[in-house]
Each structure stands twice: as C-alpha cells, then as structure tokens.
Structure 1
Amino acid sequence: MKNDVGSQLTMQLQQYFGRYGEITLKREKPWASITFSGTRHYFELITEPGVEEKTVNALLAPLVSHEFDISGHFVADILVHLRAPADARIAIDILTIVDPVGKPAD
C-alpha cells in the first residue's frame, strides 16, 4: 500500500463515500505560497447507479469540514465542483499543505 499523501487521501475519501461511489485521484499539482508548500489533488467521485442526488448532497455538504489524518500534512481547502443533476461524476479538489510543526511523513 502506498503511503504518499494522494494515496492516503484516496483511501480516506473512499472510506468516507463508502458504497455510494468510487473515488479516483485524477492528477496532482505542486502548490506554494510565500510561506507554505503543498499539493493540489484533483479527484473524481463517480456515484453508484441508483444513488439519489439528495444522498450525495448530504455526503458532500460536511466534506469541507471533514478531518483527514495525513502524516506530515493537513488539508487547507476542499472544493466540490457543481454538477448537473443527472451527472454521476463529481470533481473534488483538495489542497494539502506540508505541516510546518507536525511530525514528518515516514
């Protein structure tokens, strides 16, 4: 099993969405500001057939405040892109930052 940040996020997102959909890491892009560095992760959630839109929305709403456990990093931002009601694909962007005071990743 991989221990990189993208793999950890993928695994935790899949646990979060469970049987309602499948999460895939589509790409990653380095990110930096004057004081911080990190990575922007681009995910796609494909909801399972028959899952109602209200169920998906109920899962997506609290995602922005979900606590992820990522070694040496923290989630700074989560963006869920709007979708058409009949679209089973949802784009989710997550910005992770290297934790300047946390324990380094193994």
Structure 2
Amino acid sequence: MRTLATVATIDPVTGVETVVEYENPAPLKATLLARRRASRELSRRIPGAHGHRAAKAKLTGLDRRRVHLRREAAHQLTTQLAPRALMRIQIGRRLLFLE
C-alpha cells in the first residue's frame, strides 16, 4: 500500500479537478521492513522451540503495532478532512449542502 488515501475534489466554478495523495506515516514503513525481517527469522526456527515462540511473539507484536499505526493514521486523516468536507443533508424532500 503506497498511499494512505487519495482525495479528489472538483471546483464547482472552474470545474478543475485536484487530486491529493496522503502518504503512509514513516513509522509504518519501518514496521513493515521489521516485520519482513522477523518473518524470515521465524521461518528459520524449529516449531515448538523456545526461539520459535520468542520469534512468533516478536512478529505478533509488530503486526499489532502495524494495525495501530494504520488505524491512528486513518483517524488523523479523517479528523483533518472532516471540517473541509462538503456535507449533504437530506431532510424530507429538501437537500441541504453545508460547508
């Protein structure tokens, strides 16, 4: 996954479309590299051995960290975008646009 999100907006007056790509956070990229390394290390261990259990715990911890980093990045992005979003509210047959 190269980008966290891609947001496209169209200016109603000029009709020009602008596309903004939001990158993944740097700690996520570092965690993915560490996860690859830990996965290779786990595959070299003998199943059931103490080293295998330790390597598996390390890999599980990295997976948990990756999930939390993605969730936090998505939360921060939506919090940043929400005030600028054009909201559409439908009340009965009337359609209201709020900025």
TM-score between the two structures when normalised by the length of structure 2? 0.29
In proportion to residue count, which structure has more helix?
Answer: 2
**Larger RCO (alpha carbons 8 Å, 6+ apart):** 1
In proportion to residue count, which structure has more strand?
Answer: 1
TM-score between the two structures when normalised by the length of structure 1? 0.28
Q: Which has the larger radius of gyration?
A: 2
